[in-house]
Amino acid sequence: MVECILPNLFRIEIPLPESPLKSLNSYVIKAPDRNLIVDTGFNRKECLKAMKNGLKELDIELEKTDLFITHLHVDHFGLVSELATDGRKVFFNQPDADFIQAWDGFDHLVQYAHMSGFPESELRSALENHPAGKYLADGIPELSILKDGDMIEIGDFRFKCIETPGHTRGHMCLYESEKKIFLSGDHVLHDITPHIQCWSDDLNPLKNYLASLDKVYPLDVDLVLPGHRRLFNNYRERIDELRQHHQERAEEVLSILENGPRNAYQIAPDMSWDIDCESWEQFPLMQKWFATGETIAHLKYLEEEGMISRKMVAELIVYCKN
């Protein structure tokens, strides 16, 4: 499906088969000299077909088209190698580029998940079904790195790049101040909460995410163009809702820890999840993985805020309320 949002600004709906997200919003800006595609979809034939059909309907020549990728996740980055041939720029952020270049597999995630209580029998199966391993790009093209505050000019659009770490280390949004539009990637979504997960002691992604919400809150925005689901107008109201959501999640974790020390995998089943299952045992394995990663993000945040502490018990990380 192709939708005209503003003159020379379009949305192509890219299906995401087998994903609860259902589809990706890929945005296309047309201009006489160079066009721009923002985000791409999984590296699979259904996504490529939808992209090519949409570009054909818009009469977009790939030879005159650059790409901007908001962040490294495969539903946004996966088709880059299919679309970015010689002469096309792929605009990207440095922290996510560094992560991709340093990537050496899932072993560190496996170790941390095991220390967090995730059953080893389920670990490998979860990672075998992880989209990051199944639908990643066929090689990484040369990346044109953009920094916070850099500008991209396409036709009569002038976008400011705004680095918004949290969902990933270097997630980047685009803001057009004259037209008051905000291409938010997965930083601000309308009817779902961006996934903030943690599988490392080196990061505090929830703290970074909340700071990134504060960073973009003052922007004068009339229309948000998110990476998934529908476009929306209630920009600051939605940011307030996201802040409140994470505050309630943090309070929920503290309440659970009132019952005594637990590891992350023991805490996750008692938290509130928007999923149509009657019990934790019925959760699909990947949803258990995502839920545990999000639980760890809240635990890490609360630990650094001095509200909980951790200790090692039988090679597991166990948290208790201070």
Query: pTM for the full model?
Result: 0.94
The domain limits of the chain are: 2-321
Residue 229: the pLDDT is 94
Residue 124: the pLDDT is 74
Tell me which of 3-7, 25-29, 126-130, 291-295 is least confident. 126-130
Residue 173: the pLDDT is 98
Give the right CATH number for 2-321 from 3.40.50.11540, 3.60.15.10, 3.40.50.2300, 3.40.462.10: 3.60.15.10
pLDDT digits (tens, 9 = 90+) for 158-199: 999 999 999 999 999 999 999 999 999 999 999 899 999 999
Mean pLDDT of 281-286: 86
Mean pLDDT of 23-39: 97
- Inter-residue contact 137 to 81 (CB < 8 Å): yes
The CA distance from 16 to 274, in Å, is 20
pLDDT digits (tens, 9 = 90+) for 93-149: 999 999 998 877 777 888 899 999 998 777 777 777 666 667 677 778 889 999 999
Residue 132: the pLDDT is 61
